Amino acid sequence: MFLCGWLVMVTLIPVILSVNPGVEVKITDKGIEYGRQLGIAAIQEKLKKIRIPDFSGKQRVSPIGKVQYSLTNIQIVNIGLPIAPIQLVPGSGVKLSINNAFINLRGNWRVKFLRWVKNSGSFEVGMNDLSISESLAVKSDSTGRPEVSTISCAASVGRVRIKFHGGASWLYNLFSKYIEKALKSALQKQICPLVTNAIDDMNPRLKTLNVLANVDKYAEIEYSMVSSPAISSSSIALKLKGQFYNIGQHQEPPFSAPAFSLPPENSNMLYMALSAFTANSAAFVYHKAGVLSIYITDDMIPKRSPIRLTTTTFGTFIPQISKQFPGLMMKLLMKTDKSPVVTFEPDRVTVQVTGTVTAYAIQPNDTLTPLFILNLDTSVSSKVFLSGMKLGVSLTLNKMKLSLQTSYVGQFQVQTLSNSLEFVLKWVVIPVVNVQLGKGYPLPAIRNMELENTKLQILKDYMLIGTDVKFTG
Ligand SMILES: *[C@@H]1O[C@H](CO)[C@@H](O)[C@H](O)[C@H]1NC(C)=O
C-alpha cells in the first residue's frame, strides 16, 4: 500500500523544465555599493517627510499648581545617515543596517500657569543612536521584471537630547520627559513605513526593464527574467531569457540555450554576458522572416568596377550566356537557405552563412530568365561594438566557397565566377548588411541607465560586457 502510494506520488511529480538564460547580468560588490548609495539617498529623502504632531497637556507641578503646555511646529532640521553596510543574504535578498543615524528637530514651546503667567520659547532636539534594519527580497515578478519588497524592518531611537531656549529651568524638566516620549514614539512609528515606501519606490524604475525590446519591424528581444535573481554572498545574478523573436506570434527555434557561467571578474559594477544562443536566435528569426535575401542590380556595383552585371561581362566567363542572351542586363538574388550559425571563440565571432545565388538575365520586357543557381558557403567575421545602450555589429568576409546547384545554360566551371562573386559580396552585399547591423540591438536596460568604463570581450560561447552604470535622473 505504502509502495503503491509512493509510486503514484513519483509519477505525479511534474517535469520541471529548466530554462537556461541567453543573457546573464551579474551585479558585483561595486554595483551593490552604488545601489546602496542610491538607496540611502532615497531613504534620507523619505525620512524628511517625518511629521511630528503638535501636542499639549496639563501637568500639576508643586507649588505652582496646574501648568498648561503645548509643543508646536516641530520640524526636522537635519538627518544624518552614516555609512550603512549592506549585506547580501544568499538565496533570499539584501539586508541594510543603518546605525548611529541622527535626526535634529526644532520646535516651539508655550506654557500657561497661575491663570495669568504665560511663557514661550523654542527648543532643539537631537536624536542620536538611531538604527534602522531593513531586509528586502529581490524577486522576479509575474512579467519577468525585477521587484524588491520589504521582508522586515525595525527601527529604534537611542538617546534624545533636548535644549531649550527661553523659560526657566524647572520648565525644562517638565517638558523633557514628554517631548522625549512623544518624539520617540512618533519616530518609531513612522520610520519603517517610510523606509518601506522608499524601497517600494524603486519598483517603478526596476519595472522599466525592457522585457520585450523592439528591434525593427521583424524582431524583438525578450529580456524577461527566467528565474528569481540568484543572490550569493558577493553578487546578484539576473538570468534573462535573451532571445530574439519574430514580432507577434513567437516561434521557438529548433535549438535551446546551453548553460554557461560568468568569469569571477568584479572590477566593474556590472557584467552582462550575451551568449551565442542570443545571436543564433536572431539569425533564426531573420532567416525565417525571409529577410536574409538581397537582389543585386548593376547600379549597386561601384562605378569604377570593370565587373558589370551584364551578359557581356558574364559571357567572358561563361560564353553561352552572351551567345544566348546578348547585350542584356543581369540581376542576382542572394539568399540564405538555412539560419546562419554564429560562434563565439575567444576574441573572435564567426558567422557561417550558407545560401544560394541565382543569376538572371533581364529581358527587354523585364521578364527575369534564370541562368544558373549556385550554392554559396561563406564564413564572415564580426566585430561587435557598443553604441549607447545598443550593440552594433560589423562584418567582413573571411572565406567563400561556390558550387553549382543548377545551370540553365549548360556546363561551366564555377570557379571562373569566384572573383566576381567575392567582389559583389565584399563591395555590395556586406556594406548593405553592415548598415543594417550597425543600427544596433538593444541591450537589457532600465530607464535612465548609462554605461561608463565599458569594455567588451569575446569569450568562448558568449560575449562579456563589463561596465559601470550611472543613473541620470
Ligand atoms: C518576354 O520576352 C521573352 C524573350 O523575348 C519571352 O520569352 C517572354 O515570353 C516574354 N514575356 C512576356 C510576359 O511578354
Can you give 263-279 as a three-state secondary structure string?
A: CCCCCCCEEEEEEHHHH
pLDDT at 269: 97
pLDDT at 18: 59
pLDDT at 445: 94
Task: Return the amino acid letter for 211.
Answer: V
Atom of ligand 1 nearest to the CA of 366: 1
In angstroms, the CA 439 to CA 390 distance is 8
pLDDT at 3: 46
Rounded to the nearest whole angstrom, what is the distance from the C-alpha of residue 327 to the centroid of ligand 1?
16
Which tens digits make up the pLDDT trace of 316-331? Answer: 999 999 999 999 999 9
pLDDT at 465: 97
Query: Which positions ≥6 away from 257 have C-beta within 8 Å?
Result: 19, 20, 21, 22, 242, 243, 275, 277
- H-only helix segments in 336-446: 418-424, 430-438
Rounded to the nearest whole angstrom, what is the distance from the C-alpha of residue 313 to the centroid of ligand 1?
23
pLDDT at 463: 96
pLDDT at 68: 87
Rounded to the nearest whole angstrom, what is the distance from the C-alpha of residue 298 to the centroid of ligand 1?
21
- Residue 249 Cβ contacting ligand 1 at under 6 Å: no
- Residue 367 Cβ contacting ligand 1 at under 6 Å: yes
The 8-class DSSP code of residue 84 comes to -
Domains and CATH numbers, the chain: 30-207 (3.15.10.10), 212-471 (3.15.20.10)
Residues of the chain with pLDDT under 50: 1-3, 5-16
